[in-house]
Structure 1
Amino acid sequence: MDVKMPDMDGIEATRRICADPADAGIRVLILTTFDQDEYVYASLRAGASGFLLKHATATELLAAIKVVAAGEALLAPTVTRRLIAEFLRRPHPASAARDLDDITQREREVLTLIGRGMSNSEIAEHLHLTVGTVKTHIGRLLAKLHARDRAQLVIAAYEGRLVNPSPQ
């Protein structure tokens, strides 16, 4: 989905697609030339699972499509640091801290590793669990934190201060 399109912008189209319960399994990847924070935030709020810039290589685009189609989230590397910095600048919302109080220690460990960018198989290996068990924990985290997808879990991990950006 592009941000700028004739008749309806891609953010509104994404919002409509993601709001339709009949399209619950559909994932949206934003592919645009507009490297502006307002478009990133609006796209994620609308329900996009990924945001990639058009200067990405064909290999990067194919990998992004596969990641998003698998239910994972993806942000262009140039966008990631700005997104994290913005969330860290905001005051710590009480609701995020309260929600994290409702998760188990193992769910907290899984959420921390999601926030560090690990895949399900990497988390399973790190915690000595099966991939199925990791998926169960992620499902519970999605429900408990009222998150739509993995991207929102990453946000929760940063807002809950389970993960901090690297100093570089």
Structure 2
Amino acid sequence: MLARLCRWLRVLGCDAVVVPDHLPRSEILSAAAEAGKSGRIFLTRCQKVASSRNSAGVFWLTSDIIQEQLAHVMEHFGIRMESADVMSRCSRCGSAELAPVSHEEAAAAEEVTEHLLSKVSKFWQCGGCGKMFWIGPKSESAMQILRAVAETLPERCRGMCVDAKQQP
């Protein structure tokens, strides 16, 4: 249920992992306990998980609206929107290995069409899962969403105003 939030946190440069919703409750509780032991934060929408006896490191999100979730997490944990961090991780797998690729390398990727090659000059590829990235309408609307979320946050979380043309 928090997979979208995880992707947005990755877009902000945060190391985030999704625990599948379909796991048995005991496995979810075990993952929450492991997160606490390893110094990680376990985000949940489930009040029972948040109030379990092994809930150290568990953060309960009450909203199901993604912009509110993102703003709540950013404000609570002091996550700043820094241009160097934004889009520095793969939104699919979380890898920080995004590398520029040539037009020829991009053309070999399944998801890159001839039309896209004619419109886009820069491509990046994730070293973890192989996903291709480029600056286009989706990345620009993502930046608009991040700016709108940042406007609701205290100054300490706003960071720099990010330009969508910089990198994936």
Structure possessing the higher relative contact order (Cα contacts under 8 Å, 6 or more residues apart) = 2
**Greater share of residues in helix:** 1
| Both structures adopt the same fold (TM-score exceeding 0.5) | no
Compare CA radii of gyration and give the structure with the larger one: 2
Q: TM-score, normalised by structure 2?
A: 0.27
**Greater share of residues in strand:** 2
Q: TM-score, normalised by structure 1?
A: 0.27
